[in-house]
Amino acid sequence: MGINTRVAMAVAMLLGTPARAATGGSFNVLTMNVAGLPAILNGNEVPGDKTTNSALIGSKFAANGYDLIHTQEDFNYHAYIYASDTHPYRTATSGGVPFGSGLNSLSNYDWVDFTRVKWDECSNASGADCLTPKGFTFMRLKLSDGVYVDAYNVHTDAGTEDGDLKARAANLQQVANYINTWSTGNAVVVFGDTNSRYTRVADIVPSFLEQTGLTDAQVELILGGVAPTQEILCSNPSTTNDCETVDKIFYRGSPLLDLTATYWSYESTKFLQADGSILSDHNPITANFTWAAGSLLRQSSFSGGAEGAWFSDVPALSAKTAPKASVLTFRGASRLDSVAITLGDGTKFTHGGTGGTAATLTLGSGESWVSAQLCQGQKSGKTRNFYIKATTSTGRTLEAGTTTSDCTTFTAPNGWAIVGFLGQDGDEMDQLAFVYAPK
């Protein structure tokens, strides 16, 4: 990000107006199981002292310029990794063994809605997978104003006994169910230690990808689009990209964000000790992605807090040709209770509860909804949207709720208009963003 862009974003934040979103860019990711179990529990067949190795891992995270790093088994040596890393955004550890999940993220981009989820099922059939609250994490990574990709960090059950295979399949199914609930309409990247191989049918990787619409970046870029049918084990450090490990990088785009994988590789030679020894029993993996804002749908940034159920009008809007707003209806009193929009073809999107007083505005011929002000505040210790004010292309307005001192105005890009919503709701509007379409 250039200096001028940073200055523009800072000024916009001071004025309470989001900076204009970039329409394209690139980012790269890295996944690495950092072998952070206490040495007394697992030496991982890695030479050297784990404290020293962890500090070296952190310094290599910083030196190699990865935009988003997911780590697994980041347990008892976490502080040494962070002490030598320089990423501006990093998750707080959930603890060492047996308290933490070992999952953490380091990023050049900020995020919203970070969540840790524990597996519903685990197995100790061939190890101690139930010793710690393993699972996955979720975050909405903000690449630019109104540009997000949902990022998942996973570490599934290990082992090949029947109980392990059953638990691991349940783990991947749990992630698939979460994606299909909380990432509807969004671009997604999933990467981490899946403990899965394509050659083990019980690992359900193909089913997982089919359910979620995800693509394996290695299969796409390295293996010609054909998943492995026979086991080709990797050395460590790996000397080829044609072999398969249990560490994976999956992705998909959305109507809001075109996402393309352009590079995939094992990063093994970048993570070695001075004498050439490995730092982990897993080969780290990287991938590069280019992104472009949607040509037919885009979104604003979010206002409010991460409570309530996720909703998105994006899937329905993506099936329409040139959607146009016809009627706006808001409900509010002390806070913003609900928002609704009726399109010209009669389709209506409504989100939130039934409280408050309703206010309605019918748009005229050629009139469009071009900007909205949202004000947020605290209710019972949670951040919610308290107020909305819509402004149309002719200067007419519609408002509901009660203003606060924390307000932001969201304006559609030139030639675009607001046609829908996405966010989280319950009885009120917890979190809200706007969907834009060309006029």
Instruction: Note whether 326 and 205 are same-domain residues.
Output: no
The domain total for the chain is: 2
CA 76 from centroid of its chain's CA atoms: 26
Instruction: Note whether 289 and 308 are same-domain residues.
Output: no
Structural domain span for residue 308? 298-438
**Single pTM value for the model:** 0.93
Beta strand pairing call for 188-193 and 147-155: parallel
How far is CA 132 from each of CA 95, 259, 389, rounded to the nearest angstrom? 10, 34, 47
Instruction: Note whether 43 and 63 are same-domain residues.
Output: yes
Instruction: Note whether 75 and 140 are same-domain residues.
Output: yes
Instruction: Note whether 310 and 360 are same-domain residues.
Output: yes
Instruction: Note whether 237 and 356 are same-domain residues.
Output: no
Q: For residue 7, is it within any domain?
A: no
CATH code of residue 125: 3.60.10.10
Instruction: Note whether 87 and 165 are same-domain residues.
Output: yes
Instruction: Note whether 307 and 408 are same-domain residues.
Output: yes
Tens digits of per-residue pLDDT, 62-113?
999 999 999 999 999 999 999 999 999 999 999 999 999 999 999 999 999 9
How far is CA 235 from each of CA 107, 155, 238, 244, rounded to the nearest angstrom? 28, 21, 5, 10
What does the alpha-carbon distance between residue 190 and residue 223 come to, in Å, rounded to a whole number?
19
Six-digit token string for 111: 């995020």
What pLDDT does residue 43 have?
64
Which segments of the chain have a pLDDT < 70?
1-20, 42-44
Six-digit token string for 159: 């082992």
Q: For residue 306, is it within any domain?
A: yes
Instruction: Note whether 260 and 114 are same-domain residues.
Output: yes
Looking at 293, 311, 327, the residue that finishes a domain is: 293
Tell which residue, 296, 211, 215, 291, has the closest CA to residue 248.
215
Tell which residue, 120, 168, 113, has the closest CA to residue 137.
113
What pLDDT does residue 229 have?
92
Instruction: Note whether 181 and 53 are same-domain residues.
Output: yes
